[in-house]
Amino acid sequence: MTGENPVLVVRDLHKHFAGGSRLRGGRHTVRAVDGVDLTIAPGEVLGLVGESGSGKSTVGRCIARLETPTSGTVELLGRDVSRISRREMRPVRRDVHVVFQDPYSSLNPRMTVGQIVGEPLRQHGEGERRDRTRRVGEMLERVGLREQMRTRYPHELSGGQRQRVALARALVLGPRLLVADEPVSALDVSVQASILNLFLDLQRDLGFSCLFITHDLSVVEFISDRIAVMYLGRIVETARRETLFADPQHPYTQALLSAAPVPDPADVRRRERIVLSGDLPSPSDPPSGCRFHTRCPVAIDRCATDNPPLTGVTAPDHPVACHLVTAESGRPRVAAP
Ligand code: SF4
Query: Percent of the chain, pLDDT > 70?
Result: 93
Query: What residues are in contact with ligand 1 under a 6 Å CB criterion?
Result: 250-251, 290, 292-293, 296, 298-299, 303, 308, 322-324, 332
Q: For 38-79, how does the pLDDT look when each residue is reduced to its tens digit (9 = 90+)?
A: 999 999 999 999 999 999 999 999 999 999 999 999 999 999
Q: CA nearest 47: which of 245, 194, 190?
A: 245
Average confidence (pLDDT) over 143-157: 95
Q: Ligand 1 centre and the CA of 145: distance in Å?
A: 48
- Which residue's alpha carbon is at the smallest distance from atom 6 of ligand 1? 322
- Residue 15 vs residues 106, 155, 303, 321: alpha-carbon distances, Å: 23, 35, 24, 20
Q: For 275-316, how does the pLDDT look when each residue is reduced to its tens digit (9 = 90+)?
A: 788 788 999 999 999 999 999 999 999 999 999 999 988 889
Residue 106: its pLDDT value, please?
A: 83
Element (H, E) at 185: none
For 253-269, b where at least 16 C-beta lie within 10 A, e where not — what string? bbbbbbeeeeeeeeeee
For residues 3 and 268, give the distance between their C-alpha atoms in angstroms, rounded to a whole number.
39
Is the model's pLDDT at 89 over the cut of 60? yes
Residue 327: its pLDDT value, please?
A: 79
* Nearby residues of 196 by Cβ (< 8 Å), 6 or more positions away: 184, 219, 222, 223
For 157-194, b where at least 16 C-beta lie within 10 A, e where not — what string? bebbbbbbbbbbbbbbbebbbbbbbbbbebbeeebbee
Is the model's pLDDT at 158 over the cut of 90? yes
For residues 280 and 273, give the distance between their C-alpha atoms in angstroms, rounded to a whole number.
18
Residue 181: its pLDDT value, please?
A: 95
Is the model's pLDDT at 270 over the cut of 60? no
Average confidence (pLDDT) over 265-270: 58
Average confidence (pLDDT) over 153-173: 95
- Contact of 63 with 209, CB cutoff 8 Å: no
- Contact of 148 with 141, CB cutoff 8 Å: no
Average pLDDT over the chain, rounded to an integer: 91
For residues 46 and 237, give the distance between their C-alpha atoms in angstroms, rounded to a whole number.
13
- Contact of 10 with 36, CB cutoff 8 Å: yes
Nearest atom in ligand 1 to the alpha carbon of residue 291 is 4
Query: What are the residue boundaries of the structural domains of the chain, listed by start?
Result: 8-247
Backbone angles phi, psi at 12, to 5 degrees: 45, 50
CA 231 to chain centre: 13
Nearest atom in ligand 1 to the alpha carbon of residue 325 is 3
Alpha-carbon radius of gyration of the chain: 21
Is the model's pLDDT at 190 over the cut of 70? yes
Average confidence (pLDDT) over 233-256: 96
Is the model's pLDDT at 189 over the cut of 50? yes
Residue 337: its pLDDT value, please?
A: 40
Average confidence (pLDDT) over 225-254: 96
User: Which CATH code, of 3.20.20.100, 3.40.50.1970, 3.40.50.300, 3.20.20.140, is assigned to 8-247?
Assistant: 3.40.50.300
Is the model's pLDDT at 23 over the cut of 80? no
Average confidence (pLDDT) over 240-250: 95
Residue 7: its pLDDT value, please?
A: 97
* Nearby residues of 242 by Cβ (< 8 Å), 6 or more positions away: none
Residue 259: its pLDDT value, please?
A: 78
Q: Highest mean pLDDT: which of 16-25, 101-110, 164-173?
A: 164-173
Is the model's pLDDT at 103 over the cut of 90? no
Element (H, E) at 307: none
- Which residue's alpha carbon is at the smallest distance from atom 7 of ligand 1? 293
Is the model's pLDDT at 171 over the cut of 70? yes
Residue 26: its pLDDT value, please?
A: 64
Q: Ligand 1 centre and the CA of 291: distance in Å?
A: 8
Is the model's pLDDT at 3 over the cut of 90? no
Nearest atom in ligand 1 to the alpha carbon of residue 250 is 6
Q: Ligand 1 centre and the CA of 155: distance in Å?
A: 48
